[in-house]
Amino acid sequence: MTELKNDRLLKALARESVDVTPVWMMRQAGRYLPEYRATREKAGSFLDLCKNPELATEVTMQPLDRFDLDAAILFSDILTIPDAMDLGLYFAEGEGPCFERPLRTAAAIEQLPVPDVADSLGYVMDAVSSIRRELDGRVPLIGFSGSPWTLATYMVEGGTTKEFARVKGLLYENPRAMHQLLEKLAVTVIDYLNAQIAAGAQAVMIFDTWGGVLTTRDYSEFSLDYMRRIIAGLTREHEGRKVPVTIFSKGGCQWLEDQADIGADALGLDWTIDIGLARQRVGERVALQGNMDPCVLYASPERIQTEVATILESYGAGAGHIFNLGHGIHQHVDPDHAKAFIDAVHELSVPYHRT
């Protein structure tokens, strides 16, 4: 096992002392980097890039070569699981992900296959292993999956949506069918994340992108409970270290207390809540990740520093904060502004970790 040279992230997730607040960015390997765009063009398409372990390794490493980040995150997509379920995933220019065969009936859900992760998603585990070799202990590697509810949203809608009419219609009209779909997805997510951990992921994250569109009752039943089941089924120790789990329900800060009780080590926060208030609400139960508005990165480096300072001050002294954006970095952000953000976190957080 290669010794980890920078373990700030894992320490912060365990609420242990660190020298500075660790920082990484959701979508840190992505379209805002010119080198990423060049690699994607070489791959031919986004899906081809995801399915090529060598190129996935290359783009995972690109932000680490530019910035002083405290973690790498696997380059992949949350829709690899629906793709493995033979729904005909493709990415339309200007439209995002689409499915040729969306799930529109209970019969389609009944017939939906549960994939053999090792067989149909082996390319992801090959990428995880390749990235770990390339990292050589530089920083920890984060693996991830979409939550069952979020995956189901895309699979039923057939792509992106603003209304969630089809998936919510199914939830209300035929909750049994919705639960059947979520059960299949939960089993697959457990297998998928455990395979990533076996291949070398040192922390994992569950992206519940659309949890926040649900009512309180439905969030608990159709989203949170399935993430609880997933966490209970995960490998929690590997290579002699605990494997921490973070959940992120975008738009779900009203449910932080409930989220803190499902066994996760950390909660991701979007930018709609003050992180100090969130810390008061969850106490010592979990670490917190977040939560700068990604649009701040369109501002000057000086304004970015001010916002970083405000969030650090709000969280306050002590362990358990992983600095991140409140959602993924936007494609038109200047990479120099991303660097200013990351450097500001390290520079300005020093006083908060003095013992």
Q: Which residues are annotated as a binding site for substrate?
A: 27-31, 77, 154, 209, 327
CA distance 71 to 135: 10
- The catalytic residue among 31, 166, 236, 303 is 31
Torsions phi, psi for 288 (to 5 deg):
-125, 135
Catalytic status, residue 352: no
Catalytic status, residue 166: no
- The catalytic residue among 27, 66, 104, 236 is 27
Rg of the chain taking only CA atoms, in angstroms: 19
Across-strand partners of 106? Answer: none
CA distance 64 to 68: 7
- The catalytic residue among 32, 36, 70, 77 is 77
Contact 248, 268 (CB under 8 A): yes
Residues annotated within the binding site are: 27-31, 77, 154, 209, 327
- The catalytic residue among 40, 138, 166, 303 is 40
- The catalytic residue among 36, 70, 83, 154 is 154
CA distance 205 to 27: 13
Strand 245-249 to 266-268 pairing = parallel
Angle between helices 165-173 and 148-157 (to 10 degrees): 110
Catalytic status, residue 15: no
Catalytic status, residue 40: yes
Catalytic status, residue 27: yes
Could you tell me which residues come within 8 angstroms of residue 221 by beta carbon, excluding any fewer than 6 positions away?
Answer: none
As annotated, the active-site residues are 27, 31, 40, 77, 154
